[in-house]
Structure 1
Amino acid sequence: MSITWWSPSADMRSAARAMDRLIEQFFGEQVPDSTNSQNPPTYYLPVDIFETDEAYTLVASVPGFKEDQVEVTFEDEILTIKANAEGHKLPGRWLRQERPYGSFVRRLEVPAQVETAKIGAHFDNGELTITIPKTAKPKPVKIQIGTGKKELAAKA
């Protein structure tokens, strides 16, 4: 029988590596690993979102993707941005490949009070801008109060 020493730090390092893999699978790789050509990376798409009185505006940088490779949908208060691009086909062997390719999907919850029929998207120089107009807030209505007695008759 052999004696094996237990090392808590080795177990922690192993758990940390497992957590890194899990996070990478969930969020995607920020820099693709050119050694793994079988599974193109899935990217986490960072976005900027700002609000005005009239609309929400979302801006996302999607370098390396063309307009026809990006799809934007809105359903059940969820805005979805998807893209897929083939890897760059060049002769020879890659030494380093950092330009994005592969796919990404980003889903964002949007408040219900928006004009879904008027959502617009614009693609320019690798930057996607989506404008989501808000519904107009109802204006207060003044209700006149009558004076005097008014009898309500019940019909039989």
Structure 2
Amino acid sequence: MTLPALRTRRPATAASWDPFREIEDTWSRLGSLLGDVVGPEAVSVGPLAVAAAPIDIEETDDAYIIELELPGVRREDVSIDLSGNELQVTGEIKERERKGTLRRQTRKVGSFEHRIVLPEEVDPDSVDARLADGVLTIRLGKSRQRQPRRIEVTSGASGAGPGGTGGEAGR
């Protein structure tokens, strides 16, 4: 059995190959082909529309940053809910009113839902969301309980054990 050829501009290595990206690309191509055959109404909503949505998830030392492309979506048409470490982004891409005859439609319309499960708990009080230029950026601060903490090592007098009196050990 052979694997499908990777269609990337970078050299494909085991470390850079993303199977989820391959699945999303395949869904996108399938949706485009299906739209050409049966018409855009059949693929404008549903799993094909959601599967092809571009999304980036970046992890920093203190937060997760999620960028989700939502072209044509207004701020008031998006809802974001956080439960534990699961983020849910829902909304609607509304059909715009047209004056002429629509000959082809490949832009997605209808409801969408994105569920993103993060690897660890986030702090619900440190969530920020902004929608600008068709990109929704959500910054979720990591839970302070899980963040690494540096423990200062102090010097103590030799011979003094824990709880004993020995210079700086009790400080």
Pairs aligned (count)? 124
Among residues 75, 79, 82, which one is paired with 2:83 in the alignment?
75
Are 1:123 and 2:131 matched, yes or no? yes
- The code of the aligned residue for 2:162 comes to I
Are 1:41 and 2:52 matched, yes or no? no
Are 1:113 and 2:121 matched, yes or no? yes
Higher gyration radius (CA): 1
Shift in alpha-carbon separation, 1:70–1:127, aligned structure 2, 3 A: same
Secondary structure in 2 matching 1:68: helix
User: What corresponds to 1:140 in structure 2?
Assistant: 151
TM-score, normalised by the number of residues in structure 1: 0.64
Secondary structure in 2 matching 1:117: strand
- The code of the aligned residue for 1:145 comes to P
CA contact (8 A) 2:40 2:105 kept: no
CA contact (8 A) 1:64 1:101 kept: no
CA-CA distance at 1:46 after TM superposition? 2.4
- The code of the aligned residue for 2:45 comes to P
CA-CA distance at 1:53 after TM superposition? 1.1
RMSD (CA atoms):
3.1
CA-CA distance at 1:142 after TM superposition? 6.2
Answer 1 or 2: higher relative contact order, Cα 8 Å, separation at least 6.
1
CA-CA distance at 1:40 after TM superposition? 4.2
Over the matched positions of the two proteins, sequence identity in percent amounts to 25
Unpaired runs of 5+ in structure 2? Answer: 1-22, 155-160, 166-171
Shift in alpha-carbon separation, 1:142–1:128, aligned structure 2, 3 A: same
Unpaired runs of 5+ in structure 1? Answer: 1-22, 149-156
CA contact (8 A) 1:64 1:99 kept: no
CA-CA distance at 1:131 after TM superposition? 0.1
